[in-house]
Amino acid sequence: MEIGELNKKFGINKDIVFVTGKGSFPCAELSGKHGKAVVCLYGAHVLSYVPAGEKDVLWNTSKAVFESGKPIRGGIPVCWPWFGPHATDSQKPMHGFARLLMWEVIDTSLTELNERVIKLKLTDSQESRALWPYAFEAVFTVTLGKTLKVELSVTNTSDEVFSYTDALHTYFSVADVSQISILGLKGASYYDGTDKMALKVQDETFLKIEKEENRRYLNTAADCIIDDPLMKRHIKVTKENSNTTVVWNPWIETSKTIGDMNDDDYKTMVCVEAVNAFNEVVTVRPGESFAMSASISIG
Ligand code: TA6
């Protein structure tokens, strides 16, 4: 759908406006007294979340690529129907195909609580079935209110059971990653992606990032808080129906191997991701749905 048509059908005053973004991808700008969020229809990718009077909570890089078939670095990539590399076929795209396809707008609204809501839909196509053989309807809902809530809901529209893993792979913007602390994961066990997936337990209350980290925490639905003393803010991440949390920072050497990141980009970002993966695979029967969500707020 053209931008003009999107605005005619789904635009609401100055509250929800469609614009042409980078790479000519259509984007929805949600604005109001609570702040502003930008959602790219390619990948149902939230690019920006600026709470009123704040700096962007989401991290982006000048090196991000906005091209069909390539994932966008930064913001909130939606990883689905698998997280990480495909389990049996390394030719299939990393983190699934949801972030590589154009989603369709199905609804926009303003709520009594002054929230701005947009719903995007992705259904199976020849392209998706070549990678994953099921019929599905995925709906991604972004609600901008006192928090930014993002929800991925998947309905199984095929006639057989399917399983998937997923992630809301959120990149948070921080002043200096070596100065932040992440709270909420004390006592949780995790696979250490930087140490051959060794199973470890986090003893510390405050997780400090002082080297490459790729921690896949299991059996945790806990809220996480990113304490950023230099930005003088706390970012709180709460989640529903997600029992895995991933914390990722590529640090110096791995950053250099990532084409769409500047060498020093690792200093200003950290991913704290709401995930279902590893021992938390989602299974959905025909006609049934499963939804997971993350809510982000500032304190
Ligand atoms: O969530 C962490 C992770 O799975 C890392 O292993 C790292 O590769 C990252 O995601 C980014 O993946 P991407 O495919 O977006 O480069």
In order, the DSSP letters of 193-230 are TTTTTEEEE---SEEE--S-EEEEE-S----EEEEETT
Look up residue 104 and give its two tokens. Answer: 């369709």
CA 272 – CA 277 distance, rounded (Å)? 14
User: Probe ligand 1: pick from 82, 165, 214, max atoms within 8 Å of CB?
Assistant: 214
Look up residue 215 and give its two tokens. Answer: 């921690």
CA 248 – CA 12 distance, rounded (Å)? 37
Q: Does any ligand 1 atom lie closer than 6 A to the CB of residue 61? A: no
How high is the pLDDT of residue 184? 98
CA distances 239 to 118, 151, 235, Å, are: 19, 9, 13
Query: Would you give the DSSP letter of residue 241?
Result: S
Burial of 270 (0-12, 13-18, 19+ CB in 10 A): buried
CA 225 – CA 236 distance, rounded (Å)? 4
Q: Does any ligand 1 atom lie closer than 6 A to the CB of residue 94? A: yes
CA 298 vs. chain centroid, Å, equals 17
Look up residue 178 and give its two tokens. Answer: 């070596």
pLDDT tens-place values along the chain, 299 residues long: 899 999 999 999 999 999 999 999 999 999 999 999 999 999 999 999 999 999 999 999 999 999 999 999 999 999 999 999 999 999 999 999 999 999 999 999 999 999 999 999 999 999 999 999 999 999 999 999 999 999 999 999 999 999 999 999 999 999 999 999 999 999 999 999 999 999 999 999 999 999 999 999 999 999 999 999 999 999 999 999 999 999 999 999 999 999 999 999 999 999 999 999 999 999 999 999 999 999 999 98
- How many Cα neighbours within 13 Å face the side chain of 99? 29
Closest CA to 242 of 215, 223, 214: 223
Residue 45 known to be catalytic: no
How high is the pLDDT of residue 88? 96
What order do you get walking across the sheet with 26-32 strand by strand?
A: 16-20, 26-32, 35-40, 45-51
How high is the pLDDT of residue 130? 97
Q: Does any ligand 1 atom lie closer than 6 A to the CB of residue 273? A: yes
For residues 268 and 175, the answer to whether their CB atoms sit within 8 Å is: yes
